[in-house]
Copies of this chain bind each other. A is one copy, B any other.
Amino acid sequence: MEYNEAKEKFINAWGSLATQWGINRAMAQIHALLLISTQPLCVEDIMEELQISRGNVSMNLRQLMDWGIVYKDVKFGERREYFNTQKDIQELARIIVTERSKREIQPTIRLLQEVSSIKGNGSPESNEFKKITSEMYEMAKAADDIVNKVVTQKSNWLTSLLIKILR
């Protein structure tokens, strides 16, 4: 496979995979492009490469910045804004895991906490409901604990997790 072919394949496939993860295609593609780029890119560059509109690029760059994985990179003497991404893959993954936990596990925990703590009316249905949602709540908290512990260990978090699991 040629470099150009591989690059195109990577960006396209990454976009498709992302939709499965509940992340939108353009956002994933923009991020993929910044990741493999040798220098920061401006909005025009991204529009050009991915053949998408200015508005789309602007909105998705904002989202990527909200996620904390893309930064504005000011060039001296240049008017235009350039964008760059976290290139350290371990650190990138750490940020993404932290962020997804904040956006997905935490609301789930709140919901389960709330519904599992209802008074209940003693009916079998109400008892089963409390039982199952409480178990789910405990489980979600355990998952959250694990993520937090793993993720606050800055460098090489993945490798050291692997080592812990293997022994």
A residues adjacent to B (C-beta < 8 A): 1-3, 6-7, 9-10, 13-14, 17, 19-22, 35-38, 87, 89-90, 93, 103-104, 107-108, 111, 114-115, 118-121, 123-126, 128-129, 132-133, 135-136, 139, 142-143, 145-146, 149-150, 158-159, 161-162, 164-166
Q: How many copies does the complex hold?
A: 2
In the assembled complex, which residues on chain B have CB atoms less than 8 Å from the CB atom of A165? Answer: 146, 149-150, 161, 164
In the assembled complex, the Cα of A36 lies from the Cα of B150 at a distance in Å of: 32
B128 near A37: Cβ-Cβ < 8 Å: yes
Q: How far is the CB of A164 from chain B (nearest CB, A)?
A: 5
Residue from B3, B19, B38, B166 in contact with A22 in the complex, judged by beta carbons closer than 8 Å = B19
A129 near B3: Cβ-Cβ < 8 Å: yes
In the assembled complex, which residues on chain B have CB atoms less than 8 Å from the CB atom of A1? Answer: 114-115, 118-119
A89-B139, A104-B21 given; A164·B164 CB < 8 A: yes
A118 near B2: Cβ-Cβ < 8 Å: yes
B3 near A132: Cβ-Cβ < 8 Å: no
B3 near A126: Cβ-Cβ < 8 Å: yes
A114-B1, A158-B146 given; A128·B10 CB < 8 A: no
